[in-house]
Amino acid sequence: MLPHDFPVGQTVSYDFNRWKKEGIGEHIHAIVRTKLRVLLGKDPTPSAAILDSPSVKTTEKGGSVAMTPASR
């Protein structure tokens, strides 16, 4: 449910999907990230990245026994 001051749900959905398709969210994120890095006194573009693989192995089913439905 949307707050009362938002447009109707179909309009919000349409705009969100259009923005997602056009990459507007990623563009806004990049602008905000760059401005924040500058405010923090860092280089505007990151020079390194940290990649991590999962440290906890899961089951082949992808969840704990409590999360899988009982079979009959």
Give the domain range for residue 29: 8-41
Q: What is the pLDDT of residue 67?
A: 62
15 located within any domain: yes
**Mean pLDDT for the stretch of residues 39-52:** 85
**Residue 41 backbone class (left: φ over 0; alpha: ψ -120 to 50; beta: rest):** left
Q: What is the pLDDT of residue 58?
A: 64
55 located within any domain: no
User: What's the total number of domains in the chain?
Assistant: 1
24 located within any domain: yes
Q: Cα separation of 29 and 24, whole Å?
A: 9
62 located within any domain: no
66 located within any domain: no
Q: Cα separation of 25 and 18, whole Å?
A: 10
Q: Pick from 39-43, 49-53, 64-68 the range whose average pLDDT is largest.
A: 39-43
18 located within any domain: yes
Q: What is the pLDDT of residue 51?
A: 73
14 located within any domain: yes
> In the 8-state DSSP scheme, what is residue 44?
S
